[in-house]
Amino acid sequence: MLEAFSQVRWSPYVVGVGIGVLSWLSFLILKKQLGCSTSFAKTSGMIEKLLRGPDVALKPYYQKIKLDIDWQWMLVLGIVFGSLASALLSGDFRFQWVPGIWLSAFGHTPVWRVLVALVGGIIIGFGARWADGCTSGHGISGALQLAVSSWISAIAFFVGGILMAHIIFRLIAG
């Protein structure tokens, strides 16, 4: 059983069951759905509050989401440390600015890679806030609750992902 933690890739079926059980426990114990995009908005608000003072917390959006460290914020922290632990246990951890697939398509320059990752992250963040949820909020928790908006979002995630994969792999191949 413990050797499962040293595998580089886990079975998507095992991971799917694990996420399902985690979602069920979250609903049962916390009476809350899984999601993590609000944590990034909270973090940016907390940073802004540090730099600009306590009046930042009076903004209407920050009043709505509350600038505090809550269970969802800790979930994101757990994702980061859990990913690190998994990479270390599997022996797959390595520090690299430019992944192999990026290197073969666009070269070794980390500045371009970091810039594209930053812009992509900002776009994803805006999209998650605009959709009032991220892939975990809509695709897992909302879909489990049979919310129509979440099913539409989940379908859009897959369609967008498939289209982008085709575009990116065409760029790489050609």
pLDDT number for residue 101: 77
pLDDT number for residue 69: 92
Over residues 146-169, mean pLDDT? 88
Count, in order, helices (H) and strands (E) of the chain: 8, 0
For residues 140 and 83, give the distance between their C-alpha atoms in angstroms, rounded to a whole number: 19
User: Nearest 10 degrees: CA dihedral of 137, 121, 87, 18?
Assistant: 10
CB atoms within 10 A of CB 150: 21
Asked whether 119 and 134 are in contact (CB, 8 A), the reply is: no
| This prediction's pTM | 0.75
Residues contacting 6, CB < 8 A, separation 6+: 89, 90, 91
For residues 23 and 14, give the distance between their C-alpha atoms in angstroms, rounded to a whole number: 14
Residue 174: pLDDT above 70? no
pLDDT number for residue 142: 86
Q: What pLDDT, in 10s, does the model give residues 13-69? A: 988 899 889 888 988 998 888 888 888 889 999 999 999 999 999 999 999 989 999
Over residues 139-149, mean pLDDT? 86
Q: Average model confidence (pLDDT) for the chain? A: 87
> What distance lies between CA 21 and its chain's CA centroid?
19
Residue 97: pLDDT above 90? no
Asked whether 57 and 63 are in contact (CB, 8 A), the reply is: yes
DSSP annotation of 91: T
Query: Cα(first)–Cα(last) distance of the chain, in Å?
Result: 44
Instruction: Sort 59 into a burial class: Cβ within 10 Å, 0-12 / 13-18 / 19+.
Output: middle
DSSP annotation of 58: G
Q: What pLDDT, in 10s, does the model give residues 2-14? A: 677 788 888 889 8
Higher pLDDT, 129 or 160: 160
Domain boundaries, the chain: 1-95
Distances (CA, A) of 69 to 38, 96, 126, 143: 11, 30, 21, 26
Over residues 91-105, mean pLDDT? 82
Q: What pLDDT, in 10s, does the model give residues 78-93? A: 999 999 998 999 988 8
